[in-house]
C-alpha cells in the first residue's frame, strides 16, 4: 500500500487509512517500522508519525519508508510481522528523477580580443 501522510498524522489515523483499504479493524492492527532489515517495536496509536521518526526526510516518494502491519489472530495474539512485497512503487515522474548535466562550460572570452 502506498499512501501519503503528513508528519503530524497519528499512528491511529494511519491505521484508519489502512482500514479503509483492507477493511481490517484498527484495533486488530499493529504497525511496525521496517528499518535496518528488521521490524522495530510496535508504533503507539497516540504518537504522531514524526514522534516515531517518520518524516518527509526519512520517507520520500523516491525512497519510501516501509511500515509493516501485523493482524490480530483468532487467539487474540498478533501475527509476527513479515516483509512480503506485493507490489513495487510506481516509476518516478521525470521531474523527480536526478538530472544529468550535459552543459559544457566555455572559458570566458578574452576581453582583449573583443
Question: How would you write the chain as a 3-class SS string?
Answer: CCCCCCCCCEHHHHHHHHHHHHCCCHHHEEEEEEECCEEEEECCCCCECHHHCCCCCCCECCECCEEEEEEECCCCCECCCCCCCCCCCCCCCHHHCCCCCCCCCCCCCCHHHC
When pLDDT is averaged across residues 61-70 and rounded to a whole number, the result is 83
- Residue 98, pLDDT > 90, answer no
pTM comes to 0.69
Amino acid at each position: 500500500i502506498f499512501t501519503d501522510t503528513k508528519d503530524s498524522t497519528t499512528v491511529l489515523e494511519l491505521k484508519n487509512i489502512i482500514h479503509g483499504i483492507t477493511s481490517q479493524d484498527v484495533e486488530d492492527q499493529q504497525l511496525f517500522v521496517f528499518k535496518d532489515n528488521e521490524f522495530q517495536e510496535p508504533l503507539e496509536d497516540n504518537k504522531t508519525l514524526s514522534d516515531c521518526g517518520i518524516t518527509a526526510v526519512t520517507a520520500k516518494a523516491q525512497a519510501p519508508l516501509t511500515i509493516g502491519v501485523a493482524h490480530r489472530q483468532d487467539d487474540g495474539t498478533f501475527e509476527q510481522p513479515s516483509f512480503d512485497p506485493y507490489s513495487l512503487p510506481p516509476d518516478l515522474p521525470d521531474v523527480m528523477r536526478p538530472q544529468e548535466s550535459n552543459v559544457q562550460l566555455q572559458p570566458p572570452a578574452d576581453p582583449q580580443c573583443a
